[in-house]
């Protein structure tokens, strides 16, 4: 705690980033398997157990199945019931957009990149997005997040690769260029119900 001219200033340290965003991409296809289970059971623990025990995600090994089940459930549990009901019946673009929002909600590092770099670049009229942009973002965040400095280069590369894969699968990135998504009115309404609006995770200009 520092003091300036008799005024106490409390330095806030940001919460550490969760850095397990290394596999799976968007997991949109896996979500279509998990969401009916949740709407029937309304219990994410039971959903995770069923996905893993019955290998409903068609993983090649049990360990992979357990990891995927955990990842799917952790991300989808950030969605509201209204979003889950829409995801269950929506066309592919809506599912992909909701799963991108879910990834951003679960992983603050993904949310910050989406808001500051993906959307920020788009709003400035910059449509190119490259690995170098991610590296600059990482280095800048490392000034405040010591866990980034301690991360192995291989983990950093996996996060970057999985992030760019998820953006491509969400239809937000194509051949290195940022794509403004055509969000449906239903998805816009659902995302805009958050405060602040989760439209900030997408390269769009406004909530209108």
Q: For residue 208, is pLDDT > 70?
A: no
Please report the pLDDT score of residue 2 as a whole number: 44
Strands (E), the chain: 2-4, 7-9, 173-174, 177-178
Q: Which domain holds residue 171?
A: 28-201
Supply the DSSP symbol for 128. B
Q: For residue 43, is the peptide bond before it cis, meaning its omega torsion is within 30 degrees of 0?
A: no
Per the confidence metrics, is the pTM higher than 0.95? no
Please report the pLDDT score of residue 140 as a whole number: 97
Domain membership of residue 11 (yes or no) is: no
Q: For residue 154, is pLDDT > 60?
A: yes
Please report the pLDDT score of residue 205 as a whole number: 86
Domain membership of residue 144 (yes or no) is: yes
Q: Please check whether residue 186 is in contact with residue 207, taking contact to mean a CB–CB distance below 8 angstroms.
A: no
Q: How far apart are CA 20 and CA 113, in angstroms?
A: 15
Q: What are the pLDDT digits (tens) for 110-122?
A: 999 999 999 999 9
Domain membership of residue 101 (yes or no) is: yes
3-state secondary structure of 9: strand
Split at pLDDT 50, 70, 90, the class of 7 is: low
Q: How far apart are CA 206 and CA 141, in angstroms?
A: 26
Split into its structural domains, the chain has a count of 1
Count Cβ neighbours within 10 Å for each residue of 93-124 and write b for 16 or more, e otherwise.
bbbbbbbbbbbbbbbebbbbbbbebbbebbee
Q: What is the CATH number of the domain that holds 56?
A: 1.10.3540.10
What does the pLDDT average to over 80-88? Answer: 97
> How many other CB atoms sit within 10 Å of the CB of residue 2?
8
Q: For residue 8, is pLDDT > 70?
A: no
Please report the pLDDT score of residue 14 as a whole number: 87
Domain membership of residue 48 (yes or no) is: yes
Please report the pLDDT score of residue 13 as a whole number: 74
Domain membership of residue 16 (yes or no) is: no
Domain membership of residue 141 (yes or no) is: yes
Split at pLDDT 50, 70, 90, the class of 207 is: low
What does the pLDDT average to over 175-196? Answer: 94
Domain membership of residue 192 (yes or no) is: yes
């Amino acid at each position: 705690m520092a003091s300036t001219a008799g005024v106490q200033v409390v330095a806030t340290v940001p919460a550490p980033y969760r850095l397990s965003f290394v596999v799976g991409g968007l997991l949109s296809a896996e979500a279509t398997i998990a969401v009916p289970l949740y709407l029937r059971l309304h219990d994410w623990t039971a959903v995770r157990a069923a996905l893993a025990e019955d290998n409903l995600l068609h993983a090649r090994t049990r360990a992979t199945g357990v990891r995927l089940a955990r990842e799917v459930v952790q991300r989808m549990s950030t969605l509201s019931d209204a979003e889950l009901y829409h995801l269950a019946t929506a066309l592919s673009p809506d599912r992909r957009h909701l799963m991108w929002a879910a990834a951003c909600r679960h992983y603050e590092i993904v949310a910050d990149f989406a808001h500051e770099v993906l959307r920020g670049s788009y709003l400035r009229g910059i449509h190119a997005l490259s690995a170098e942009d991610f590296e600059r973002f990482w280095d800048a965040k490392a000034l405040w997040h010591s866990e980034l400095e301690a991360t192995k280069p291989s983990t950093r590369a996996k996060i970057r690769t999985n992030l760019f894969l998820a953006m491509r699968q969400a239809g937000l990135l194509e051949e290195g260029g940022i794509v403004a998504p055509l969000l449906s009115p239903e998805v816009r309404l659902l995302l805009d119900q958050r405060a602040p609006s989760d439209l900030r995770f997408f390269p769009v200009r406004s909530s209108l």
